[in-house]
Structure 1
């Protein structure tokens, strides 16, 4: 609606109404400021949750699994002949090993001409085979109904070429063989090593196929029969371990006492020494990184709850921003956003709980009374009270503790007492104890973080939350309703002002008309 005022009075009605409405909008501006502060506070809470969740993820990825924490270092005095790796449960021992023979694969080479061609099978034909692995185990196939069988079936399509057949046999993983042709011969090799590999022909179609590939078994070719034509049997690896002779394995890679050995060559009667020791550097690095991450976390949280609140700096309205430069707006809003989480009870309580959790002794499974508190492995709070509980490390003391009892140090950080309960139906469940002293330090921290994140989400929600699902959001919804009602009221007030000024204009215009008429009469 176009409004033109002041024609009769000569007054700037637009400016008058605008100035009057500025005063009327002051309560609306305060509501908008309050809403903006709540949105900023919500975002600050969510940033704290992101910080806590990132720290929780770091703990899970780096501090919970023995294989990542308690690594072993393995060295070999003759790495060209034998190498090894060790699991976290392996002892710190020296082992001597003499490699007498390497394991090898079984080979078959066709002993007659290849007669296979695309006309060998006039229709799709199912062949049946069995395969024994180098360690003597039978290769099994799982049927569609879940049952297992040792008969391996392949369907040779009518018109398949020699290349197609060799590729199909090689790709059947249960057979574990590889075939190729060269110089008029077909070579078949078992993929694994060991002396007990075999291939058994199970039906006439398989017999026909292998005979056409040149594998003619004249001594025993009554189905079923084991393919022996021109077979070079594989060998088992043979070695002497710590003086015990004639030990054999079907593979060149095997595990003894949690140490996995890989044989690469014979040692010609000489003994290679395999040394297993704890990877102290890895464990020290993990703990140092953990302390750094923890210090970074509490520094940022302490910074939020102790940040100065500038109450005289309120969020700017659109009109106020128009009168300021971008730099001025940035500086103003920096002050306005400051201290929105000052002395927040959720974050302050979380910090106190984390400090208590780290200082309390660990009494759970695998605890060592010599190394069940951080101070005993060289980790203490700094002497500067302004650090608000930051940790500092004596790496020499930490290294000594790890070298003496790495398992105890790991348990202090990530161990727990496991509790098994039995239900009335006989089913059992096992979970960590709920007693804090029986939980490792990182498990305690993760529980505290989980509770804190949950508490913050109840107050500030998360990205996928609707406003009705958290308390700040509900307050924002309430403010939106107040703002909408107040805007409706302002519209009514503005209309009233215009009606009043319009009435004034009409009265002035009427008075001017009467004055003009009287002057005409007197004239």
Structure 2
């Protein structure tokens, strides 16, 4: 870029003149930049819509197209303090009798008081060293947890009692078992417990030097107490079951035991019709959110009168005014968009189809209206909710809450047919969206819009802006060079005139 000399000799406003002369080139740069910004806004609008549609496809339909969303069961326990039950979809309905005879526990040792090597009581603290107890050189501890091979710990005379506990905690058997260990400096003793429950959690401690083990208060002879681990045990419908943990997985029931019972308690397994109803209700809630958004964008107010704001425009407006103006542009970007139209057409078409299911009366073709699920007259609903479905009798919707709840009635009278209908409806919706979101030359997989094409268009704008800016700079430089030459010529002319004037003034 050449030196830009202002009109010192000519008296002209060179900057303003050149700005005016290259204005059409600047306008082209500004226009392209504006178009790219608007294009970015459109990309962002599409990304948000695609995110919502993909969430509906993956999360909602991904759940509702499987039988597990409908075969919901629940087990009621007569003594909720004694046990809790998680019920699987294949659990059998019925009443079970259960008695809890034992609770799983881990092995736990309370050590005896610390003594020195001679057997004399010693007021030990966490930082007491083995050498303080009269032991020198290397000592060893051996620990066996359950049926795993024995593990050896080597201890130096400089090790403290806290370090002994730390090394015990560091032992891990091949099958993943370990112990928690702590030396309590206030009470001067070790506390050691297995990390898992059950009879197989028992641990034993030994040493080549039993005097050392006695001194630490953890030998069978010196420890205060040792409680062996115990398995949990229940009698369910006359059959005894044991577990190393307080959970039992039996016939798709996961039973967690909390306390021993003096007698039998009952487990009553039933189909959870409320759970099925809530899942179907959630399906329509998410569907409505999607179609309402698509309708809102497709039927948006014409925003063509809202032009992109320049920096000067923004300076004359408040921050809220700028946001409202730009939101008008963004909200109208997909007005009458063909992709939105195709998506709405696909979804609404599927929802109006009849679906063949096996009912108690035989095979029938059912429609959503037979479950009391319908769209409403456009005069009765909010704008952009014309394709939304409403469940008759739903207490959360004033417009239909006084109607008979046919969905609940159908679930109660024929849960299998109801499940088959809505599972197939979900499959049809998922298949329809999958078809719309398939990969093409212009769009990626699981993408509703032409994201590849839009990315290419963005790059094209960048290239055009670069070329237009390059041309603008070249034109500016060219004009500055011309004005610089003119200024130089005028400076020379003025110098000559001054010399001549000086010459004649001396005559």
For the residues of structure 2 that align with 1:184 and 1:383, how far apart are their CA atoms?
80
The answer as to 2:298 corresponding to 1:305 is yes
Q: 1:163 to 1:311 in 2, by over 3 A?
A: closer
The answer as to 2:268 corresponding to 1:275 is yes
Tell me which residue corresponds to 1:484.
469
Tell me which residue corresponds to 2:154.
155
For the residue of structure 2 that corresponds to 1:474, the secondary structure is helix
Tell me which residue corresponds to 1:464.
none
Tell me which residue corresponds to 1:266.
260
Q: Aligned Cα RMSD in Å?
A: 5.2
Runs of 5+ unmatched residues, structure 1: 133-137, 141-149, 219-226, 416-436, 461-469, 514-523
Q: 1:92 to 1:178 in 2, by over 3 A?
A: farther
Q: CA deviation at 1:97?
A: 1.3
Aligned residues of 1:105 and 1:189 also touching (Cα < 8 A): yes
Tell me which residue corresponds to 1:129.
143
Tell me which residue corresponds to 1:456.
450
Matches within 5 A, 1:442-453: 442=430, 445=433, 448-449=436-437, 451=445, 453=447
Tell me which residue corresponds to 2:127.
none
For the residue of structure 2 that corresponds to 1:491, the secondary structure is helix
The one of 199, 203, 206 equivalent to 1:199 is: 203
Aligned residues of 2:210 and 2:219 also touching (Cα < 8 A): no
Aligned residues of 2:106 and 2:198 also touching (Cα < 8 A): yes
Q: CA deviation at 1:36?
A: 1.3
Which digits, 9 at most, give the CA deviation of each residue in 1:193-245, with x for residues without a partner?
Answer: 444554356x7538565444456669xxxxxxxx9997655544444322x05
Aligned residues of 1:97 and 1:272 also touching (Cα < 8 A): yes
TM-score (norm 2): 0.65
Tell me which residue corresponds to 2:75.
74
Which digits, 9 at most, give the CA deviation of each residue in 1:340-386, with x for residues without a partner?
Answer: 3333333333333344455567899xxx9779975665544444396
Tell me which residue corresponds to 1:84.
85
Q: 1:46 to 1:268 in 2, by over 3 A?
A: same
Aligned residues of 2:350 and 2:428 also touching (Cα < 8 A): no
For the residues of structure 2 that align with 1:37 and 1:408, how far apart are their CA atoms?
54
Which digits, 9 at most, give the CA deviation of each residue in 1:319-358, with x for residues without a partner?
Answer: 6667778787667656665633333333333333344455
Runs of 5+ unmatched residues, structure 2: 123-129, 395-404, 439-444, 498-507
Tell me which residue corresponds to 1:52.
50
Q: CA deviation at 1:114?
A: 5.0
Aligned residues of 2:73 and 2:271 also touching (Cα < 8 A): yes
Matches within 5 A, 1:104-503: 104-106=105-107, 118-119=130-131, 122-132=136-146, 138=147, 140=148, 150-170=149-169, 172=171, 174-176=177-179, 189-195=193-199, 197-200=201-204, 204-205=207-208, 209-214=212-217, 233-242=228-237, 244=238, 246-269=240-263, 271-311=264-304, 313-317=306-310, 339-356=332-349, 377-384=371-378, 387=385, 389-394=387-392, 395=394, 396-402=405-411, 439=427, 441-442=429-430, 445=433, 448-449=436-437, 451=445, 453=447, 455-460=449-454, 470-481=455-466, 483-484=468-469, 487-488=472-473, 491=476
For the residues of structure 2 that align with 1:69 and 1:155, how far apart are their CA atoms?
59
Q: CA deviation at 1:71?
A: 5.7
For the residue of structure 1 that corresponds to 2:450, the secondary structure is helix
Aligned residues of 2:107 and 2:203 also touching (Cα < 8 A): no
Aligned residues of 1:238 and 1:247 also touching (Cα < 8 A): yes
Q: 1:259 to 1:13 in 2, by over 3 A?
A: closer
- Number of residue equivalences: 444
For the residues of structure 2 that align with 1:19 and 1:113, how far apart are their CA atoms?
93
Q: CA deviation at 1:79?
A: 1.9
For the residues of structure 2 that align with 1:477 and 1:192, how far apart are their CA atoms?
63
Q: 1:476 to 1:230 in 2, by over 3 A?
A: closer
For the residues of structure 2 that align with 1:198 and 1:273, how far apart are their CA atoms?
33
For the residue of structure 2 that corresponds to 1:205, the secondary structure is coil
Q: Judge which range, 396-405 or 321-330, deviates more.
A: 321-330
Q: CA deviation at 1:476?
A: 0.9
Aligned residues of 1:298 and 1:351 also touching (Cα < 8 A): yes
For the residues of structure 2 that align with 1:444 and 1:98, how far apart are their CA atoms?
51
Aligned residues of 2:86 and 2:254 also touching (Cα < 8 A): yes
